[in-house]
Structure 1
Amino acid sequence: MSSAVIGRKWHVASVGSFADGALEQRVSDGVTRVEDLLARSVHSPEPLVAEASSHLLQAGGKRFRPLLTLLCAEFGDPAAPQIVPAAVVVELTHLATLYHDDVMDEASMRRGAPSANARWDNSVAILVGDFLFARASSLVADLGPEAVRIQAETFARLVHGQLRETLGPGPDEDRLQHYLSVVADKTGSLIATAARFGAMMSGAGPDVEQTLLEFGERIGIAFQLADDIIDVASDAGDSGKVPGTDLREGVPTLPTLLVQASPVNGDERLRELLAGPIADEDDVQWVIRALREHPAMDEARAYVRAEADAARTLLAKLPEGAARDALDEICTRATDRLG
């Protein structure tokens, strides 16, 4: 599937190619409508709000969540009018969380551009995130009370995940299990809703909706954990992310938590450096090399493959066809990224 088919800001790395031309055309048409509604949704008569709210939208992004909504709608009526607004609701919610995350993380860059809090200030970034949440709420209100309930529950999980990440694990809580629960809430929940909305708005039926809900959560977790591995395993430029970013910021990830959970002889310096942010660049590079050779990396890869395989197993419950094949390809892409 070419980048022209997927749209001017859409990336294909998370999906691969469609073997079915009719599916490709429907997704292409849906992408165009989603992109147009996104642009209209972030508009404001106030110039500062309009500029700041479109800042991350114009910076790009894979738009994986709305694309998943469009694909999951293929199990019902893909022409149903509620599908595109539902896809936009999910993407607006995702964008809003990015504005807020960058404030909490004191991030200066997002998607290769200055973050909103760096370009303006924290207050502007927080309020623009709130504005995007409001626009998502306005759209979802037209989709019915069940959609509103799902959006509210998803929002609660997003906030719950962020709070748990901010507070950290309790004194008697397993750090790895705490982290996995954060990933499920912060990442898996919204991707699950993206898939669920596609089935729900297309009238695919409750069994398909439940299957795609579970699929979305599993594959969302798999992609996030794959990103953890890529932060260590990729070379500069391969992933669009500078290797060791999480190490510099002291962000817990699957590989680092596995090292700390199951230390082996000779890990003393590695575990000491992983205890917090790593300021010295020589230390960052040493840790990257040590992690790449550590058994924890293979263990982390196996964990991601298990999540992707669990997602793929769920697909067996769905009707055969091009849409199921496309979702299967997403599972493959999740593990292909591991190197």
Structure 2
Amino acid sequence: MTDEQFDAIVADQLAQIEDRLLAATSSGNPFIAEAAGHVVAAGGKRFRPALVLLAAHCGDQFDFDRLVSAALVVELTHVASLYHDDVMDDAEIRRGAPSANLRYGNTIAILVGDFLFARASSQVATLGVDFVDLQARTFAELVEGQIAETIGPAEEADPIQHHFQVVAGKTASLIRTSAVFGGMVAGLGPAELRALEAFGFEIGMVFQLSDDLIDVVSDATGKTPGTDLREGVPTLPTLLLRRSDEPSDQELVELIDAGLADDDDLSRALEGLRASRVIEQARAEIIRRAEVARSHLTPLPDGPAKRALAQMCDLVVTRSS
């Protein structure tokens, strides 16, 4: 099979998962169905389902229905967490559309997130105890990551290491589990599952750290540039900025700490950050971790699936370039 043929097969399978994802948000109550489908219908990268698929294709064969269920579990869990995140962040936009909390109110957004978590639980129950156990442990990590972000670093803690801890819980844990789920569905052995676990975690870290950078450098996302910056959300570039001894960087810190409610102040902060060396420092960390992720693929069998996973390492870097 050529890589082009493999890509066509994966694209078709992702389309089938997309259809099933929309169906999984259905409800006998039309209002719940509308609210639950709001974020799903807005689209998304579907990075986690794609990772489930690619990991499964590292094996010789798998049951496609079980694979779809595994992909639905991770994406429903991810989407459910977005409903809760947007409430906590008081967000107004999600994937280029009005956020669910803005459209339906905080209470409904929280309840719909709970509804989607329940749908994910129904899916994982069909896969077996090992899947349920991993999903439960992953959900705990998601919550721990959110709590760590909410309370912030301890006084004696390194803020950058704390940020990595937050990213590990809130993002990398579920992406790691996506890769492992795919391998489990395909019946891969312990060595291959450990490789997918290590790869999935590291590529998950890269994925979020890339988002940190995108908030500053890109105008082509569903969010307004500088959204995290304006809201005071710690990201790798701003944390590196606070560690910098450059006078211009310290002036930027003062500007950010004074508040960026004014659009002109936000533009000045973005312009200054883009010109700072911390952007290249953040990009270097992203590239380093992407190469670590790539190195974890070594035990996997050669073939189009392994090459596609390796290509992910390049994609998560270039999306923030």
Fold equivalence (TM over 0.5): yes
What is the aligned counterpart of 1:295 among 255, 258, 277?
277
**AA in 1 matched with 2:170:** K
Q: Quick one: distance in 2 between partners of 1:157 and 1:252?
A: 19
| 1:190 corresponds to which of 174, 177, 187 | 174
Residue 274 of structure 1 and its aligned partner are, at CA, apart by 3.0
CA distance in 1, matches of 2:19, 2:291: 35
Counterpart residue number, 1:239: 221
Asked if residue 286 in structure 1 is aligned to residue 268 in structure 2, the reply is: yes
CA shift at 1:264, angstroms? Answer: 1.8
Which stretch shifts more, 324-333 or 272-281? 272-281
- Identify which range, 73-82 or 174-183, moves more after superposition: 73-82
* Residue of 273, 296, 301 corresponding to 1:314: 296
Equivalent in the alignment of 1:255? 237
Partner SS for 2:248 = coil
1:338 is matched with 320
- Which residue is equivalent to 2:305? 323
Does residue 106 in structure 1 map to residue 90 in structure 2?
A: yes
- Shift of residue 24 of structure 1? 2.5
Residues 240 and 43 of structure 1, relative CA distance in 2, 3 Å threshold = closer
**1:127-276 equivalent positions in 2, closer than 5 A:** 127-234=111-218, 236=219, 238-275=220-257
Question: In structure 2, what is the Cα distance between the partners aligned to 1:129 and 1:78?
Answer: 34
Deviation string for 1:291-310 (max 9, x for gaps)?
11211111111000011010
Secondary structure of the residue aligned to 1:72 is: helix
TM-fit CA distance, 1:36: 2.4
Relative to the length of structure 1, the TM-score reads 0.91
Q: 1:97 aligns with which of 69, 81, 84?
A: 81
Q: Answer whether contact 2:80 2:117 (CA < 8 A) is retained.
A: yes
Distance change >3 Å, CA 94–CA 277, structure 1 → 2: farther
Q: Check the 8 A contact 2:67/2:182 in 1, yes or no.
A: yes
2:76 maps to 1:88: no
Instruction: Tell me if the contact between 1:158 and 1:185 (Cα under 8 Å) persists in the aligned partners.
Output: yes
Instruction: Check the 8 A contact 2:92/2:99 in 1, yes or no.
Output: yes
Segment of structure 1 superposing worse, 27-36 or 48-57: 27-36
Q: Aligned letter for 1:243?
A: P
The equivalent of 1:34 in structure 2 is 17
CA contact (8 A) 1:233 1:243 kept: yes
Matched-pair identity in %: 51
SS of equivalent residue, structure 2 residue 257: coil
Q: Return closer, same or farther for 1:137/1:274 CA change in 2, 3 Å cut-off.
A: same
Residues 251 and 277 in structure 1, CA contact (< 8 A), matched pair in contact too: no
1:277 offset after TM fit, Å? 4.3
> How has the CA–CA distance of structure 1 residues 106 and 241 changed in structure 2, closer, same or farther, with 3 Å as cutoff?
closer
Instruction: After TM superposition, give the deviation of residue 267 of structure 1 in Å.
Output: 3.0
SS at match of 1:62: coil
Where 2:247 maps in the other structure, the secondary structure is coil
Residues 1:270 and 1:27: Cα distance change in structure 2 (over 3 Å): same
> Which of 309-318 and 192-201 deviates more?
309-318
Identify unmatched segments of 5+ residues in structure 1: 1-17
Q: Over aligned residues, Cα RMSD in angstroms?
A: 1.5
> Is the 8 Å Cα contact of residues 250 and 276 (structure 1) preserved in structure 2?
no
Q: For residues 11 and 79 of structure 2, what CA distance do their matches in structure 1 show? A: 22
Answer 1 or 2: which has greater helix percent. Answer: 2
| 8 Å Cα contact 1:226/1:338 also seen in 2 | yes
Q: Deviations over 1:106-162 (max 9, x none)?
A: 111111111111111111101100000001001101111110000000000000000
1:12 equivalent in structure 2: none
The alignment covers a number of residue pairs equal to: 320
1:49 equivalent to 2:39? Answer: no
CA distance in 2, matches of 1:109, 1:52: 15
User: How many Å separate the matches in 1 of 2:61 and 2:254?
Assistant: 53
1:277–1:97 distance in 2 versus 1, CA, 3 Å: farther
The structure 1 residue matched to 2:6, chosen from 23, 30, 50, is 23
State the TM-score, normalizing by the size of structure 2: 0.95
Q: Which has the larger displacement, 106-115 or 277-286?
A: 277-286
Q: Which amino acid aligns with 1:321?
A: G
